[in-house]
Amino acid sequence: MLEGYSEVKEDLRFIFGSEVRLKVLLALMDGPMELSEMRSVIRSSSSTILHAIYQLEEKRMVSRTNRRYELSATGRIISLKVQGIIGSLLAIGDLSEFFLDHDLSSIPDHLLSSIEALAGATLLESKPENLTEPYDVVAKNALNSEKVWVLSGVYHPFYGDLLRSGAEAEIMLSEDLIASIEDDLPQNAGIHSIPAKLKFSLIITEGSMALSLFLSEGLYDPSRFLFSRDDEAIEWAWSLFRHFTDDGVG
């Protein structure tokens, strides 16, 4: 990828070198607009916006039909990528305490690149007066669900409760973890192993997802869970689940 940078560096400067050009691209993601509409959205003068539009037209990112401006096919692709970058930066900013000093090595790059899907998630954190609160919230939510899917590099005690509760549960644990706790597992437990070494714990229900991570030094961090009921976050979680299972259920 570094080799390709020299080929596109001028395009990168063009796209990110002007706040007004960026705003035009993002505004037109909502559909064709007249200049007056863009002026109210972008909050800049007509001459400044027109100058940016002319530059985008020269790059064939924007076209004009009568008095309305719209994105070209390439302009829309570029705008979607810009949206993704903005979303990722917002998510990283909002969730910096969750990602900082944690091991993301077992989360595939294509899911890290769409991390903006988690932007609206809630960060559950331990408090001095209640160190187990994040775990308790996640466990209670799972035990009150009819269907639960787990993909994890750590064994949470409530997995056994989940299997005994009669809920429809699919629990996938990393092979090395099962080998280390095999004697402690419930007899005939509905737990399956996968060869990957997982550095996270992922719990999905019909209407939620919860994610926790290992610390960079290798220890599991039970003090923070990322929890969401948002459809986009749940779909991101399913993509992670399916990445490690041959035929993840969804």
User: How does DSSP assign the chain, residue by residue?
Assistant: -HHHHHHHHHHHHHHHS-HHHHHHHHHGGG--EEHHHHHHHHTS-HHHHHHHHHHHHHTTSEEEETTEEEE-HHHHHHHHHHHHHHHHHHHHHHTHHHHTTB--TTS-HHHHTTGGGGTT-EEEE-BTTBTTHHHHHHHHHHHT-SEEEEEESS--THHHHHHHTT-EEEEEEEHHHHHHHGGGSPTT--EEEESS---EEEEEETTEEEEEEBBTTS-B-TTEEEEE--HHHHHHHHHHHHHHSTT---
Confidence of residue 184 (pLDDT cuts 50, 70, 90): low
Give every strand in the sheet of 224-228, ordered side by side.
Answer: 122-125, 224-228, 208-213, 200-205, 147-152, 168-174, 191-194
CATH homologous superfamily for the domain 97-244:
Endonuclease Chain A (3.30.870.10)
Question: What CATH number labels 2-84?
Answer: 1.10.10.10
What was the pLDDT predicted at 177?
Answer: 84
pLDDT digits (tens, 9 = 90+) for 189-217: 568 888 888 999 999 999 999 999 999 99
Mean pLDDT score of the chain: 89
What was the pLDDT predicted at 243?
Answer: 94
- CATH 3.30.870.10 residue window(s) in the chain: 97-244
- CATH 1.10.10.10 residue window(s) in the chain: 2-84
pLDDT digits (tens, 9 = 90+) for 9-67: 999 999 999 999 999 999 999 999 999 999 999 999 999 999 999 999 999 999 999 99
